Amino acid sequence: MQFIPIVALTGFFLVGVFSYLTYAGDARAGRQKITTCQACHGLDGLSKNPESPNLAGQVESYLARSLEAYRSGERKNDAMNIVAKDLTDEDIADVAAYYASIQVDVLPP
């Protein structure tokens, strides 16, 4: 009876490891690639525009999957579809790594 939970936990672990490795970008390289992003998402990934989300501190795999979806057209946004269409897989991984590496501190009210 304990076999099924062990297999399930092993599967979840492997999925997590492989999804991390898939998106293990270079944050330093990503910092050099975000010039276009800064217009809407802010110089530090904290948007001053209410129409654009904050990217700083987001989960790397979420950012990468979102950029891939914009690039493919699966996810629709006029500006993001244009910006993402020319990104390579490496660009996406690097940009996602950069924004994920920004530490965001939340101060109590």
Give 13-42 pLDDT, tens digit per residue: 555 544 444 558 999 999 999 999 999 999
3-state secondary structure 6-17: HHHHHHHHHHHH
CATH of domain 3-101: 1.10.760.10
Give 50-65 pLDDT, tens digit per residue: 999 999 999 999 999 9
pLDDT of residue 17: 47
pLDDT of residue 65: 98
Give 64-106 pLDDT, tens digit per residue: 999 999 999 999 999 999 999 999 999 999 999 999 999 998 8
Burial 2-37 (b: 16+ CB within 10 A, else e): eeeeeeeeeeeeeeeeeeeeebebebeebbebbeeb
pLDDT of residue 59: 97
90/108 Cα distance (integer angstroms):
37
pLDDT of residue 103: 95
pTM of the model: 0.76
Chain centroid offset of residue 49 CA: 19
Q: Where do the domains of the chain lie? A: 3-101
Which of 73, 70, 74 has the alpha carbon at shortest distance from 95? 70
